[in-house]
Amino acid sequence: MIFPLLLLPVAVWGYCDPEFTLVGEKCLYFETHYKMTFEEAGEYCNEMRGASLVAIDSARQFKSIVDYIYSEGITSNSYWVDGNDIKTEGVWITSSGKEFPMGTPFWGGFLTYQEPNGEPSENCAHLFKSEKFYINDAKCNGTYAFICEQAELPPMKITNEAPEVNSCPMHYVAIGGKCLSFLTYEETTWDEARLRCRETDGDLATVNDIELLREINLYLKVQELTDHDFWLGASDAAVEGQWLWTNGSTVPMGTPFWGLNIGQEPDGAAEENYMALLSDGYFYFRDVEGSLALHPLCQLTE
């Protein structure tokens, strides 16, 4: 087909080609003017010197993309990304055949279900503006804006890996560069949970890194703990709407940390001032009443 715009090859300068912007660790082009089907968007990207729809391959990259959309004010569009289950229903892959990330913190998670939920009729992935730019499955013949990824990058590589933890004390496990302890043998209020953590030289966990949230989710699945609910060390009890960790640092807000309900959490106003990871909420951040009986998720005090 003939596209409205065809970009011809030019010399690479700096880290990204001129049409692309460094977002996270990828050079990306956000097409916001033309709306195309999933297939057309892929072809359009390919005509930009062999680019492709962006492949989201890490939680940190996903967060960088969502942050960029909000910072640039380009929030009136949903965006195609490189993921589909066209060949085999329920098996999501990229155009190159690589596994597409599933679950939290990528796909929209509500209190009663998590995307993808379109079954055979919705086979292509996009960042859905109505779901705060979490990934959603959509009909491939729908027309949306899209994000292209530069085909080849110069050898510069940005790394921001979590520090390694050589060993953790008894009852703690190394996850995402931290020593964490999941106290599944008791359920307590938020205040009592802090006391339990302090008894083992810790405090309720602080989760500022989106990769850590993903690692926690993966651990819960492997250990078959996805039917448990856990306290985290954050609250806005002191000042409504000002969410702080127990160490006084600011809690990250929005996608991809906080889950969805009618809108986006936190949504409990003055009645719900404490943070939890809930099984029914797919282990995104949720605000709940501090009097609930949940399991403490402790972090070794550094």
Evaluate if residue 133 carries a pLDDT over 90. yes
What pLDDT score was predicted for residue 154? 55
Evaluate if residue 219 carries a pLDDT over 80. yes
Degrees, nearest 5: CA angle 251-204-200: 155
The mean per-residue pLDDT over the stretch 61-89 comes to 98
Bridge-based pairing state of the strands 124-128 and 52-53: unpaired
Q: Could you write out the three-class secondary structure of the chain?
A: CCCCCCCCCCCCCCCCCCCCEEECCEEEEEEEEEEECHHHHHHHHHCCCCCEECCCCCHHHHHHHHHHHHHCCCCCCCEEEEEECCCCCCCCECCCCCECCCCCCCECECCCCECCCCHHHCCEEEEEHHHCCEEEEECCCCCEEEEEECCCCCCCCCCCCCCCCCCCCCCCEEECCEEEEECCCCCECHHHHHHHHHCCCEEECCCCCHHHHHHHHHHHHHCCCCCCCEEEEEECCCCCCCCEECCCCECCCCCCCECECCCECCCCHHHCCEEEECCCCCCCEEEECCCCCEEEEEEECC
Q: Is 279 in contact with 182 (CB distance < 8 Å)?
A: no
**pTM of the entire predicted model:** 0.91
The mean per-residue pLDDT over the stretch 62-71 comes to 98
What pLDDT score was predicted for residue 302? 75
Residues 67, 256: Cα–Cα separation, whole Å:
9
What pLDDT score was predicted for residue 163? 59
Comma-separated ranges of CATH 3.10.100.10 domains in the chain: 21-149, 173-300
pLDDT tens-digit series, residues 182-207:
999 999 999 999 999 999 999 999 99
What pLDDT score was predicted for residue 160? 52
The mean per-residue pLDDT over the stretch 243-247 comes to 97
Pick the CATH number of 21-149 from 3.40.50.1100, 3.40.1360.10, 3.40.50.10860, 3.10.100.10: 3.10.100.10
Evaluate if residue 6 carries a pLDDT over 60. no
What pLDDT score was predicted for residue 12? 38
What pLDDT score was predicted for residue 297? 98
pLDDT band at 164 (very low <50, low <70, confident <90, very high): low
Evaluate if residue 249 carries a pLDDT over 80. yes
What pLDDT score was predicted for residue 87? 95
Q: How many CB atoms lie within 10 A of CB 118?
A: 14
CATH code: domain 173-300 is 3.10.100.10
Evaluate if residue 106 carries a pLDDT over 70. yes
What pLDDT score was predicted for residue 268? 82
Q: Is 286 in contact with 265 (CB distance < 8 Å)?
A: yes
Evaluate if residue 10 carries a pLDDT over 70. no
Degrees, nearest 5: CA angle 63-66-71: 120
What pLDDT score was predicted for residue 283? 98
pLDDT tens-digit series, residues 254-300:
999 999 999 999 998 788 999 999 999 999 999 999 999 999 999 99
CA distances from 105 to 30, 55, 216, 225 (A): 22, 15, 10, 17
What pLDDT score was predicted for residue 149? 97
- Considering the chain, what is the average pLDDT of its residues? 92
The mean per-residue pLDDT over the stretch 215-223 comes to 98
